[in-house]
Amino acid sequence: MPLDSAIRVGIVGAAGRGGSFKAGFEANGAARIEAVCDVDEERVGEAAKKMGVVRTFTDYEAMLGSGEVDAVVIGTPMQFHAPMATAALERNIHVLSEVTAAVSVDECRDLVTAANASDAV
């Protein structure tokens, strides 16, 4: 797949475990890391440098609203995955949750509802 048609990926939690996805995306020409996000402003810059991306965010909602990502990898602590996934799906942004995506049955229901209503997966 040509680079210009690659899926543009944003990684949230990039200064932590989210940073481990670099090699996988580099090996797959269908996607490229376009942006990184982390609440730690200093470390998100370091993560961006390691991943070779320019666009950084410390606000997840701002990354989702930027129009620069087609998909997100959620690499944050587990309790944030379902709300973050739901927020992305509501914007028709694809989601990869790197751990179990919900911590309660209610969160599971909310996530399934968001997935069913979204054009994203």
Q: Which residue has the tokens 């990039």?
A: 14
Considering the entire predicted model, what is its pTM? 0.91
Domain boundaries, the chain: 3-117
List, for residues 37-91, the tens digit of each pLDDT value: 999 999 999 999 999 999 999 999 999 999 999 999 999 999 999 999 999 999 9
Is 28 within 8 Å of 90 (Cβ atoms)? Answer: no
Coil, strand, or helix at residue 57? Answer: strand
Is 72 within 8 Å of 94 (Cβ atoms)? Answer: yes
Domain range 3-117, CATH class:
alpha beta
Is 22 within 8 Å of 50 (Cβ atoms)? Answer: yes
